[in-house]
Chain A
Amino acid sequence: MEPATNDCKAAAMLSRRHILARAGAGFGVVGLSGLLHSEGLLGPEARAASGLGQRGLAPLAPQQTHFPARARQVIWIFVNGGPSQVDTWDFKPGLVRRDGMSIKTFDPKFDNTTGFFRNSVGNLMASPFPFHARGECGKRISSIFPHLGNHVDRMAFVHSVHTESNNHSPALFMMNCGMPRMGLPCVGSWVTYGLGSSSQDLPAFVVMSDPKGRGLPKGHAANWSAGFLPGVFQGTHLRPQGAPINNLKRPRLMTDLSQRNQLNLLRQLNTLGNGPLSVSGELASRIQSFELAYRMQSAAPEALAIETETRQVQGLYGIGDKRCDHFARQCLVARRLVERGVRFVQLYSGGNENQRSWDGHSDIRGNHSQFAGETDRPVAGLLADLAQRGLLDETLVVWCGEFGRLPVAQTGKKPGRDHNPHCLTAWMAGGGIRGGTTYGASDDVGFRAAENRVHINDLHATILHLLGLDHELLTYSYNGRDFRLTDVAGRVIRDVIA
């Protein structure tokens, strides 16, 4: 396709979306509950129909925020496996100075149970990567992120995050659901429960995992689980291979026309003998859901059709670059999804564990070079592309993994680093974030979060805050208790907010 045509299309879509957004109602309202109201179809039965009350009819309809939002949607780059803070964003001259010394010289109380492997604890090890000052803020970051380095002025770094488990899946649950246990709703589910979606043609919460056959993150689908929230709020996992979404293709023998005709019959049968007004809320809602589904058949493939993007845009993400093509495609899909009103997109970099993800137990240099190489250009492209479309202002981009890594070497043929729950670095950019800032600090060698410590609950509280949600008010009543994403804690990190 011609680039010009595409730009026009994008512009047209943007303006439609913005008009709807400004009008205070995303497409979903117009599409569903709005229609039901306008036809007088919302009856009292609906109220008793579900734990969500009236919302059971249109559970994804946009909801009021608690206060004005700074961001409307989230793209979370989940750096799976536990990226090493001291080899990425947290420059530690102290670690360089103490390179080769025992960690006991720094922390006499260090015991070997912090990491996963007890018998391969080496000495303090400086990062194998040089660090350079980047951007106007002069942030010193690792050389493994040449492209992301161009965006440090958009990022707020938090160097003092700490978590509660040194083991992948509990730590993944902690980062996603706020507790190191299975069974609770994840951030994406809470956000879609809190805000609904601006698109009823697409899933509200989308998850993409490693397409290179390296597996799912540990804990699998529980990482995008809705827990005790209604299932409609769980993440839709786009299958990395084959058809990405279930049931999008009409049956083989049907044509578009015959399916349209069939849906017309269905609508007729659903209303015959009743008269439209006696079809009560829930039933009317279901009639409408078939119309939405019909539209979704074309809307979803359209949203995923990155081949319609210009060569220039594709290039920006690194599509065609063997090293990062797979992640570039996912980043571009992420942009197309949020552009179309999807509320929450989570992308996992890397698969299961060890060398299949950022889990650099052996050969930290090789492991992190590889995974940084897979993601640096795509994520930088995503930030640049969001910015040039004016979407970055309303899109919060989060980069973090489930825990950090130890400043000591994990001994072996090539030195690696073991798990470290005491310290990790996260950065955020976009919607409401004060770019070029650094908050909190790790200790001299990057072992523990030291200054302005940030708990995962605090990180979650901040994300919700930027979306216009008060983490103490966003509750769901289940088995006798009002649950929150932040349990009984959480403090918004004001310093990173613009």
Chain B
Amino acid sequence: MSELDAFRTEVREWLEANCPPEMREPIRDEDDVCWGGRKWVFKNDAQKAWLEACVAKGYTVPDWPKAYGGAGLTPEQTKILKQEMKRIKARSPLDSFGIWMLGPALLQFGTEEQKVHYLNQIARGEIRWCQGYSEPGSGSDLVSLQTFGEDKGDHWVVNGSKIWTSYADKADWIFCLVRTDKANKYQGITFMLFDMESPGVTTKPILLISGNSPFCETFFDDVKVPKTQFIGEINRGWDVAKYLLGHEREMISGGGAGGDMVSIGGAFAKSFGKNAAGELDDPILRAEMAAFDVDVFAYRAMGERFMDMWKTGRAHPASSNMMKYVGTELNKRRHELVMSGGGSDALEWDSEESKGGARARSWLRTKANSIEGGTSEVMLNVIAKRILDLPGA
């Protein structure tokens, strides 16, 4: 037996012993997803036990070093762990912007002290983070951000506001882009970290077209931030931000951009009915779904090729922008077809049968896919400039 096979056996046995049956059920409600943090109330004992077991093993962040709360797994081992979790339909023990976004930035730019302190907190799910990037006047043109930190010697006094801060009302800490030099556009931003309970921080949820409020507007009114709480260098936060955005697009590209990557027509065949020839009983919708399926399977191959090339340094550094563009546009198309396939049932907004309007709300939610993390239009600009080398882009 190879070392990897032995590892797989070990993982399998560990999961069998430690993943509670309740944690192998499909996600039904929002609080089935464990986000951790100071304010987190576990839905049940199983959710708590599953998180604790993973924390003890380093499996909330399997590929991080052990000193920072991870399990120090190699990419191959991490892949095996993910495969085995998927096989038993295990839920993620911990979802977190700390894991997905701040962690990678800390690993790249943090001091040793910061890594030990913050990464362990993230790995254990003790602190829930939110991200302070966009501002009401700075969306696609993020670098024009105006939230200002005035230098007061040993601390900054921060004033301004952020928008689209996901779950800011539930988060404990924020990683935040703050202008610290008004004369320098790119080299005048600092990547700060501070407690959301600091005096002067307020949040206001934003009601979206989906009827949900996952995003907030966040206001800073004379918020004191100690001058030890930043990553990288003062005034060089844009480097961290760019790295993080790149990482975010890479992560989206490797996984979620295309949404649920299975045949859509196959899923509707049962509910929709078929004609005598065994075809979906609506020829035009069938054709559109089949054309969509071609694009889904094609994008799946693209995702595999992208990851194979990315991991071995063969991919164009800007190719994650292409992945995000193609994948998010695909997912929006999927949800248009889901709505068409569902007919008037899919329009229901709050009935029990519709699971609280799940399809309609998801459909509306996906419209943000091609806006958040860089709009499709910005992705196309980047492809034109950095990959096709077109002039003046």
Do A and B bind? no
| Residues in A lying within 8 Å of B, measured CB to CB | none
